[in-house]
Structure 1
Amino acid sequence: MVLIKFVKRYFAYIRVSTDKQGERGVSLQEQRDIIQRYASHKNLEVSRWFVEMETASKIGRPVFNEMLALLKAGRAAGVVIHKVDRGARNFRDWAEIGDLHDLGIEVHFATESLDLNTLGGMLSADLQAVMSVHYSRNLREETKKGYYGRLKQGLCPRPAPLGYLNNGEGKTKTIDPIQGPIVKQGFELYATGRYTLTQMTDVLYEIGLRTRETPKKSGGLKVSRNTIAGMLSNPFYIGALHVKKADRTFAGIHEPLVSKQLFDRVQAVKSGRYVRPLRNHQFLFSRLICCAVCGRSLVAETQKGHLYYRCHRSHNPPSALKGEQIEKRFAEIFDRLRLTSEEEKLIDLMLERMRERVRERAQQILKAEQLKLESTQQRLERLTDAYLDGLVEKEELEKKKTALTLERREIERVIAGIQSDGWSDMVKWNKIVERIKTAYLLYETGSYEEKRQMVKEVVSNRIAAGKNLEITIRSPFDEIVKRSACRFGCPLPGRGRGFWEKLFNDLVIPAQKGMASGDSSCA
């Protein structure tokens, strides 16, 4: 009589938490060897191996779920797992393993003597599972604590973004001397509003931006559209560390690559809040004059050899101006801005006096900023004391500390600017004086762009009402235009030295209008 021996087939499950651990193979191979020795000792035949490289702290492991489905379908008599924490580090997955036992499916742990057929064995297994879950939670908390600890120090615990270099754990990211300027140029190009994200991928590739080499991917490739979109939205480039998941921002200690003003312009372009100015034909006043009826820009056109500027929207009366009419009007304005040699010398003298006043004012501002800096530092110290005394919650402490740190950095930036460059408004006043001295010359002999810029800086509210041109001259150019009807040799009373002294005094007053940096826009 021949005896037929039925061999039960079992699954084997091995797991590591990360791809890196799995690629090294040490942990996986050790688990495989131990399970094979256990199966040989127990006369179990392993018909299939399930290998997974996923954390067991979260539910939803695909390989683990596939194995459970096959076991419940009767494809194997049971499963052999290296140890409890390889099978589950959360209570739901541990309950799934318990369900297998309740269904009569064998569950073996190769390195732990756990008999799930007894109450004592089940209790021991449950305790092992609880310890595994606790270990996972504690590890997560410690990791999170270290992560936020680095952020509070101003260090980025993640890999450096494009344009920066990794200098080792616990060290500040520094600007990449090769890729950094290219990334900055990318911000500047996108801020013009002339490029889409798709176009930016080609443009940045042409000027040298490349992907970084990683253990999984080779470098030197074109940067993807999604990566560029993330790069342009990353506040890391202005010196801030933002945790998107927690919606928290920390002040970084790394050197910013772009200014906040440029970063904000890029965000406006991305969100559609910035409209790029339309390209113009080479007509000097095209889109510089607005229709009084509808507010739209007048567009240049030629008819029978004559140049006209018209509003193309139908309304009564129509807004249309002859090119000669506009040119004559502006020529008269800029001609009155022409200075005599005596006036230029007088302006230089007034400017030097203004510089002296500015230096005195800069010292006053410097002292005030230094007092503000001391006050901010004291507020930081009081905030820390309040936290230690239990008067402030930890979350509120971090929020206020970040705000005060950023405030302190801004004050330090202002102080550094005053110490290195004097008073920043001096740059603006120098520009105004330079424009006063060169306005006529630039309008007469400048390029197309320079002439248009002078029109914008000198004249505002350029309105076409029917066939009439209504304009408002900006300050201080309006006073200069009116200063004298006979400036060559016969200045009117009060229009000589006293006039220029009053004009320069007005420039020093912070509340004065000055030369507007912007321009009234037309639809």
Structure 2
Amino acid sequence: MNYFLYARKSTDVEDKQILSIESQLAELRELAKRENLHIADEFIEKRSAKIPGRPVFNEMLKRIQAGEVQGIVCWKIDRLSRNPVDSGKIQWLLQQGIIQHIQTHSQSHYSNDNVLMMSVELGMANEYVRQLSENTARGLRQKARNGDFPSLAPFGYINNPAVKKIAIHKKNAKLVKKMFELYATGNVRLENLAVILEKANIFSKNKNRIHVSRVSHIINNPIYYGHFRHAGEIYEGKHQPIISKALFDKANSVLRGRGRTPDKKTDPRPFCGLLSCGNCGMGITGEIKIKRQKNGTTHLYTYYHCSKKSKTQKCSEPCIRAEELDRQLSNILSEYILPKEWATKLFAMLDTEEQKTKQTASEAVQELRGEEKDISHNLARLTDVYVAQDIERSDYLERRRLLMSKKKSIEEQIARFERTPSAWIEPTREWIKDALILDEISKTADLPSKKLSLQKIFGSNLFLKSRIPSGNPLPHYAELRSARKNFTKKSFSLIAEPLVGIGPTVSFLPRTCFTTKLQRHKDNSNLF
């Protein structure tokens, strides 16, 4: 009787206690020699047996059915199969006498043996794999709850086998941070980031340039600011973040918006995406018209009109020439120009305010910690509701993701206030600088700069109706316009310092900012 020797060792956790291929071969060759079993050929396979479709195993069965041999020598019966499909094949061939003998290091199986014993042994091997899969998944979930990333480290990190955690990859982490910073500006595309990776000798497994979908996944991966996804849920990680939550949000805002930004210098319709239709609410788009004269001269004209994408309302908004729209938008910008003498005094007041805000930083931090505690309480309640099966899993995951994101933002605000109590001062200075240069921008032909300034003033609240643009400015710009109109009725000190203080107590700045109140000067002339 001739035999095939079959040795298998997968890289799965299930086989970590099984002898290596070399050890199995040595033991089985010694067993065949001791039992006087003639080995016709040896089959070596490095693949898991928990699913059907092993090529080496199938080739061995094919040759057995062809009559080359009548027996198999293997270390244990679970080396042959850990799934019911392959187990059924082995048992059927054994019962039909095609396989007459299976010899392991501790047991023999023959055609006329009780099939129950082999069925139990193969069934135990299959159940072991099933239980192992569940236990492994449970262990990975617990590891995620502990804040440890339970998978292969993403780009920018490396797996530390000593502590079984991820750590910063010094070189790649710098690339990741650079990618986020560049993309957050809105001036680069995903393709540009792929080129940056290519220049840094970062390629795909096939040695090709990284695909833009992979770059998009990097930009959208929360692991870089301290959270991570596992099994559809968001967890707080204990690993070191590469970027801040604020930078992540800024970059993803660009990603969710357009995904790419056209070249500002060459875009013939720079006001696209700035306005909405005042009649139907759809976007205002641009269209280039070409006029050819009989003498061969060609003229290009740009018109802006409603995209008319509404399915419920027929829009009658007429088009407007780009030159006329530019003129009206420039007039709107001129209403929000900050006078130079105001800017000088506001800068001086900010310097004074910067010193005083340090004394009240603890109040803002205490308020934020209260919000953080509320979010933690809401997360616990959300989990209880989900465990009670009162909400669907998809709804639970979405709410948990939003709460976790908000909590991370608050944590960064607390850290920023503790580190720099007057953190709102710098954004205010930048706002003053933006308002100060509106005079220059409104008089230039730089249309992209006008669009950017108008977006800062109105956000998405700029509309075009009856060929006239109008909108609701953000609160701090609305206050500036009101102050300019009332300048002849009030002194500058009363405009800058109302009875409640310098602000921003009435949404003059984003909600994340705070300030102390400056007492109104008794002698307003001291400011001049």
Q: TM-score, normalised by structure 1?
A: 0.70
2:229 aligned counterpart, secondary structure: strand
Q: Displacement, 1:322?
A: 4.9
Structure 2 distance, partners of 1:34, 1:321, is 85
1:416 matched to which residue of 2? 415
One-letter amino acid matched to 2:122: A
User: Shift of the alpha carbon at 1:16?
Assistant: 0.8
Does the aligned pair in 1 maintain the 2:442–2:450 contact within 8 Å? yes
**Change in 2 beyond 3 A, CA 1:433/1:128:** same
Per-residue deviation, 1:401: 9.8
Number of aligned pairs?
Answer: 479
Does the CA-based 8 Å contact 2:5-2:74 persist in structure 1?
Answer: yes
Q: Give the equivalent residue in structure 2 for 1:168.
A: 161
1:257 is displaced (CA, Å) by 2.3
Contact 1:240 1:249 in 2 (8 A): yes
Cα deviation for residue 334 of structure 1 reads: 3.6
In the TM superposition, 1:8-407 aligns within 5 A as 8-18=1-11, 27-104=20-97, 105-119=99-113, 122-170=115-163, 172-189=165-182, 192=186, 194-196=188-190, 200-206=193-199, 208-210=200-202, 224-225=210-211, 228=215, 230-243=217-230, 246-260=231-245, 263=248, 274=258, 276-281=260-265, 287=271, 296-297=284-285, 310-311=303-304, 319-320=320-321, 322=323, 330=330, 334=334, 337=337, 339=339, 341=341, 343-344=342-343, 346-348=345-347, 351=350, 362-373=361-372
* 2:102 match: secondary structure: strand
- Helix, strand or coil: the match of 2:57? helix
Give, in whole Å, the separation in 2 of the partners of 1:322 and 1:34: 88
- C-alpha separation between the residues in 2 aligned to 1:382 and 1:321? 54
Paired residues of 2:101 and 2:109 also in contact (CA < 8 A) = no
For residues 436-447 of structure 1, what are the structure 2 equivalents within 5 Å?
436-440=435-439
Change (3 A) 1:34 1:413: same
Preserved contact between residue 380 and residue 404 of structure 1 (Cα < 8 Å):
yes
**What is the alpha-carbon distance in structure 2 between the residues aligned to residue 439 and residue 277 of structure 1?**
23
Unaligned runs of at least 5 residues, structure 2: 292-296, 308-315, 512-528
Residues 372, 411 of structure 2: 8 Å contact kept: yes
Larger Rg: 1
SS of residue in 2 equivalent to 1:178: helix
Asked whether the 8 Å contact 1:359–1:422 carries over to 2, the reply is yes
Unaligned runs of 5+ in 1: 1-7, 485-491, 516-523
Which whole-Å CA distance do the structure 1 matches of 2:317 and 2:139 have between them? 71
Contact 2:7 2:44 in 1 (8 A): yes
Distance 1:60 1:283 in 2: 55
Rounded to whole Å, the distance in 1 between the matches of 2:510 and 2:235 is 37
Name the SS of the counterpart of 2:106 in structure 1: coil
Cα offset, 1:97, TM superposition: 1.5
Distance 1:505 1:185 in 2: 40
- Cα displacement string for residues 30-50 of structure 1 (whole angstroms, at most 9, x for unaligned residues): 322333344344544322222
CA distance in 1, matches of 2:443, 2:268: 12
- The share of aligned pairs that are identical, in percent, is 22
Letter in 1 for 2:430: K
SS at match of 1:166: strand
> Normalising by structure 2, what TM-score?
0.69
d(CA) in 2 for partners of 1:381, 1:367 = 21
When structure 1 is superposed on structure 2, of 310-319 and 47-56 the one drifting more is: 310-319
Amino acid at match of 1:420: R
Q: Is the 8 A contact 1:321 1:464 kept in 2?
A: no
Partners in 2 of 1:455 and 1:401 — Cα distance? 35
For residue 509 of structure 1, the aligned residue among 505, 509, 523 is: 505
Q: Distance in 2 between matches of 1:336 and 1:30?
A: 81
Q: Deviations over 1:423-462 (max 9, x none)?
A: 6554443333344445436656998865654455457747
- Within the candidate set 474, 477, 495, 2:480 is matched to 477
**How has the CA–CA distance of structure 1 residues 470 and 408 changed in structure 2, closer, same or farther, with 3 Å as cutoff?**
closer
Q: Which amino acid aligns with 1:320?
A: R
Deviation at 1:71, TM superposition (A): 2.3
Q: Note the alpha carbon deviations across 1:149-208, whole angstroms, 9 max, x for none.
A: 3222211233322212333333543322222121233345556485355x64433211x1
Contact 1:458 1:477 (8 Å CA) reproduced: no
Tell whether the 8 Å contact from 1:238 to 1:258 is kept in structure 2 after alignment. yes
State the Cα RMSD in Å: 5.3
Q: CA deviation at 1:87?
A: 1.4
Tell me the alpha carbon deviations over residues 316-355 of structure 1, each in whole angstroms, 9 at most, x when there is no partner.
Answer: 96523657x95598479649946364x4565456546766
Secondary structure at the counterpart of residue 478 of structure 2: coil
For the 8 Å contact 2:379–2:400, the answer to whether it is kept is yes
2:432 is aligned to 433
Is the deviation greater in 96-105 or in 433-442? 433-442
Indicate conservation of the 8 Å contact 2:189/2:259, yes or no: no
